[in-house]
Structure 1
Amino acid sequence: MRLILITWLFCALIATLGGTQASAGAVLDSVRERGYVKCGAGERHLGFVLRNSAGEWEGFDVDFCRAIAAAVLGDAMRARFFPVSNEQRLPMVQQGKVDVLYRTTTWTLGRDSLPGLDFAGVNFYDGQGFMVPRSLGAEKVADLKGRVVCVADHTTGSKNVVEYSKTHDLDFVVRLFASQDVLKNNVFLGKCDAYAEDISGLASIRAYNAPVPGDYVILPKAISKEPLGPVVRNDDDQWFDIVKWTLFATVEAEERGITSQNIDSFLAGEDVANRRFLGETAELGEALGLDPKWAYRIIKQVGNYGEIFERNIGPNTKVGLQRGLNDLWTRGGLMYAPPFR
């Protein structure tokens, strides 16, 4: 009996050590060895992810992937993007085919509890809405009673629409589409009375895909909470921390008034917290397994959260989104970074 107990304890110890070893930087080591970060991305979500006419990736989610590359590899351009469908995106993370998924993916309990997945924060607070032709005359969601509502399949949005219709006795005729391109074509060919999608997505699609953007209206009510953020495998605590704190670094910089343009002026200052954040001391980098200047490179090469937002989806872009919930907590928004100490 004693021999059996000793054997069991030995096996448990080996399993524990093995688990600890597997979570001790395997992804970081792989990224450094291959020389680039593998980012799962949207197929074509303008303002968030797009390959421009020069073949370069750009967009809100693209910049957050580039921030990881800047932190880990020293160069924001050392990120490669792998477009994945709604159906493929989470399995791609689970199977380790991408290092991180930045693809306007809603953080839900059901997804977060799936085997092999962790959400590493929220980079955009969204909500599901409806876009309709102006000619329909609808002013509120209730005006869509009995109407044809088109929505992408394999999304939280499809479930939201069905549940909302049932709860509010709206009798939507829900049409599901596996392909975003086919969905958009149906909308603009007049085969849908309403298009249900995250409001950020609707603004993007109206700006870039509608034949005449002014012919379409986004109804004012959001019917759900859609916190969007990065997803990683849950077997590497160090990589989870790196992705999470890279996002927080962009928010922290905006809170401190540090931008890609003025960052060097903060290096010579006497503010101890600023100097620690920008790597003038080593402790923050050491905690993540990175060099001291990791956060400095993120802001210098990619920008702070506000810069990333304004450049890609802000009021002066075609998407034209206001900060709203995505403003800093000091200005009434939800963006908040834990202390960097």
Structure 2
Amino acid sequence: MRARGWVSCGVNPGLPGFAFADDRGAWRGFDVDICRAVAAATLGDAKAVRFTPVDAADRFAALRGGRIDVLARNTSWTLARDTGEGVDFAAVTYFDGQGFLAPKALNLTSADELNGARICVQHATASEANVEDYFRTRGLKYTPVVTKTEAEARAVYQSEGCDAFTADVSALASARSVMNSPNAHVILPTVISKEPLAPVVRQDDPVWTDIVRWTVYSLILAEEVGVSSKTADELAKSSSDPRVRRLLGAEGDFGAPMGLKPDFAYQAILQVGAYDEIFARNVGAQSALKLERGHNALWNAAQPGLLYAPPAR
């Protein structure tokens, strides 16, 4: 990566809020920003990253084959993937769960009311197996309408080729935001799985795994200790808080074991932002998705979530 001058990042071909190319061809989104933060930490430049759209079916092959250095594509951390795909999951960036999108006019209150329904689901995803488990466990029947991509599933659902659409709740919120009449559809309250989404790397380079992992954790720690892209520069010079000083490279050299500069986390935070900034602008209050922090709130927030990073010391 240093020799060629950029990080190669595999992303979803088009999932608004998480990874999509805008009208000018520039990539934007939550997962895109995670990749930019990794580039800033590794190469000192958040712009030193190139994005490769990868489908669900070939994402791990693209990673193993060396076409990409890191996969940041709404990918759930599961036992089978972690132990059987020759990859490592660096750190959870988004705690999600699988849900169902249905027409508001149906007045559904639970996924159990979908007995006998046609359900759109994307092929080669955890969602495909989860929905089968859910209906089978409850003795309910459904007809899967399997599509190759999320965009295709959304299109089939909008054309009434299926009665409901199942995917991670974040993906459903993304899909609804670009539908013809977003307010005509609701995400049902039923959540049928745990989906910890995490960037993925090959298993053959433990130092690279550490770099991606500690870039993510640095973004989370930044929010926890009150550092943002706007305050990082001043705090690096003036803060007396040892947690802040260590995080920003003003005290100690925690980058050395990974072959990075002492200010690797500072560069990621300064150029891309702390976790709360990345969340807000892409999927939270400042975005079209308006997702609540929920499980993705800090462990010590007023309304605690699951977000937690080991200490930088």
TM-score by length of 1: 0.89
- Give 4+ residue runs of structure 1 displaced > 4 Å after superposition: none
Tell me the residue number matched to 1:241.
Answer: 210
Tell me the residue number matched to 2:306.
Answer: 334
1:120 CA drift (Å): 0.5
The alignment covers a number of residue pairs equal to 310
Tell me the residue number matched to 2:223.
Answer: 254
Higher helix share: 1
Deviations 1:226-285 (A, max 9, x none): 000010001101000000000000000000000001112212222223212111234201
For structure 2, the 5+ residue unaligned runs are none
Q: 218, 222, 243: which is aligned to 2:187?
A: 218
Q: Provide the rounded CA distance (Å) in 2 between the counterparts of 1:245 and 1:146.
A: 46
Aligned partners of 1:279 and 1:292 also within 8 Å: yes
Q: Provide the rounded CA distance (Å) in 2 between the counterparts of 1:337 and 1:180.
A: 31
What RMSD, in angstroms, separates the aligned Cα atoms of the two structures? 1.0
Aligned partners of 2:60 and 2:85 also within 8 Å: no
Deviations 1:198-245 (A, max 9, x none): 00000011011x110011010011000000001000110100000000
1:125 CA drift (Å): 0.3
For structure 1, the 5+ residue unaligned runs are 1-30
Q: Provide the rounded CA distance (Å) in 2 between the counterparts of 1:237 and 1:46.
A: 31
Q: 285, 288, 293: which is aligned to 2:255?
A: 285
Alignment of 1:159-238 (within 5 A): 159-208=129-178, 210-238=179-207
Tell me the residue number matched to 1:38.
Answer: 8
Q: Provide the rounded CA distance (Å) in 1 between the counterparts of 2:310 and 2:150.
A: 36
1:94 CA drift (Å): 1.4
Counterpart AA for 2:285:
P
Q: 295, 302, 308: which is aligned to 1:325?
A: 295
Tell me the residue number matched to 2:56.
Answer: 86
* More displaced 10-residue stretch of structure 1: 260-269 or 74-83: 260-269
Aligned partners of 1:136 and 1:193 also within 8 Å: no
Q: Provide the rounded CA distance (Å) in 2 between the counterparts of 1:274 and 1:186.
A: 49
Percent identical residues: 44
Aligned partners of 2:242 and 2:251 also within 8 Å: no
Which structure would you say has the larger Rg?
1
Deviations 1:267-322 (A, max 9, x none): 22222232121112342011221011111111100000000000100033211100
Counterpart AA for 2:87:
L
TM-score by length of 2: 0.97
Secondary structure in 2 matching 1:240: helix
Q: Provide the rounded CA distance (Å) in 2 between the counterparts of 1:165 and 1:287.
A: 48
